[in-house]
Amino acid sequence: MPPSHGRTRLVDVAALAGVSTATVSRVLNGKGTIAPETRQSVLAALDTLGYERPSAPASSAGLVGLVVPELTNPVFPAMAQTVETLLAQSGYTPLLCTQSPGSTTEDEYIETLVERGVAGIVFVSGLHADTTAGRERYLRLQERGVPFVLVGGHAPEVDVPQVSPDDAEAVRLAVRHLVSQGHRRIGLAIGPERFVPARRKRAAFLAALVEHGLAADEAGAASHVVSGLYTVEGGRAAAAELLDAGHTGLVCGSDLMALGAVRAARSRGLRVPDDVSVVGYDDSPLMAFTDPPLTTVRQPVQTVCRAAVGALLTEIRGERAPRSELLVEPELVVRGSTGAAPAGAPPPAPEPTSPSTPPPAEGEA
């Protein structure tokens, strides 16, 4: 703790937290009843001023597991931090479990968390988002009486609260924006199709092209979609294929893919946004500071996490939270990576003639 006449300056902490010095004293001494939000404000003020936090109380509401796929995509650390803060405000101690290729599996984490006697678990973009993965692990967890919620991927077979960003609306927002800028050749660089969010984005994209008159039907619109990995290199490879096909507007399944798309454009001597416009997804930290600043669809991280934690705490209390999937609407954030379609940009490619409808014979009307 920084020296301040040998003790914490209560008045400074109180002023920053917006509470009384008496409230700060109760938080520091662990006495009296303090609302979780108020306690968190005081702790945040202590952190900001560089003071040491008071020791955690001997007892707490319990442990809650937080399982996320990995931390290389900046959106997952943001979600983990939000969930951890919300759980701490309610007196729970979060246990963060991250995965990476070759490391601890989701099933191994589940066993460890159950052995630790967790009060509940939050799964973020876990195997429930993979349509090829079985649901048995979640059904067994239900049988063991452990409350949990699923975030970012719908598994209708599992009877628990589920919360997701509205992936379909995210793509509709991106396509609508590019169309408003005059783009007629729009492509989608998306992740592996076995994942629920990718499937939802792809379906919405196909429908959007038809809606805006950029494809005759969804079968024809499918030629404007390229799947890859949710990485910079994955985005670069997918975008390269779309650029070679003449697309001037690119919708990407993640911000990392969008950064790869910008690289692909520049490697071909194309300028962003003068020649090619790029839209990302997530609005990860620092996307406003890339070159150019990235236009993206912002994931509603705070709202999704609040809904997920609220549902989990309801289940932990022995009450039943709503079971219909909650879809949270995203927000388009327009920055410098999108602009007007370049002059002379090619129109949508003509749809191939259906083999079931032969062209009229010569001389026929």
Alpha helix stretches (DSSP H) within 181-278 = 196-211, 218-221, 232-244, 255-267
**215 CB-contact burial (10 Å; exposed 0-12 / middle 13-18 / buried 19+):** buried
By percentage, how much of the chain surpasses pLDDT 70?
Answer: 89
In angstroms, the Cα distances linking 140 to 32, 68, 127, 136, 146 are: 41, 20, 14, 6, 9
Domains 62-165+301-328 and 167-298 equal at CATH topology level: yes
pLDDT of residue 40: 79
Q: How many CB atoms lie within 10 A of CB 115?
A: 8
pLDDT of residue 38: 84
Instruction: Give this prediction's pTM.
Output: 0.80
Q: Where are the domains of the chain?
A: 1-58, 62-165+301-328, 167-298
Distance (Å, whole) CA 253 – CA 242: 14
Q: Indicate whether 150 pLDDT > 60.
A: yes
Mean pLDDT across the stretch 113-117? 93
Enter the DSSP assignment of 123.
Answer: E
For CA atoms 180, 185, 189, 195, the dihedral sign is: positive
Mean pLDDT across the stretch 315-343? 95
Residue 209, helix vs strand vs coil: helix
Tokens of 235: 């985005």
Q: State how far Cα 257 lies from the chain centre.
A: 13
**Residue holding tokens 């609040």?**
306
Q: What is the length of the chain? A: 365
Residues 40-98: tens digit of each pLDDT: 788 888 888 888 777 655 445 699 999 998 888 889 999 999 999 999 989 999 999 99
Tokens of 277: 């416009």
Fold type of domain 167-298: Rossmann fold (3.40.50)
Q: For 1-58, which CATH class?
A: mainly alpha
Helix, strand and coil content of the chain, in percent to the nearest 5, comes to 40, 15, 45
Confirm if 79 and 304 have CB atoms less than 8 A apart.
yes
More confident residue, 240 or 21: 240
Confidence of residue 223 (pLDDT cuts 50, 70, 90): very high
Confirm if 75 and 299 have CB atoms less than 8 A apart.
yes
Residues 242-300: tens digit of each pLDDT: 999 999 999 999 999 999 999 999 999 999 999 999 999 999 889 999 999 999 999 99
Q: Indicate whether 352 pLDDT > 90.
A: no
Q: Indicate whether 1 pLDDT > 50.
A: no
Residue 200, helix vs strand vs coil: helix
Query: In CATH, what number does 62-165+301-328 get?
Result: 3.40.50.2300
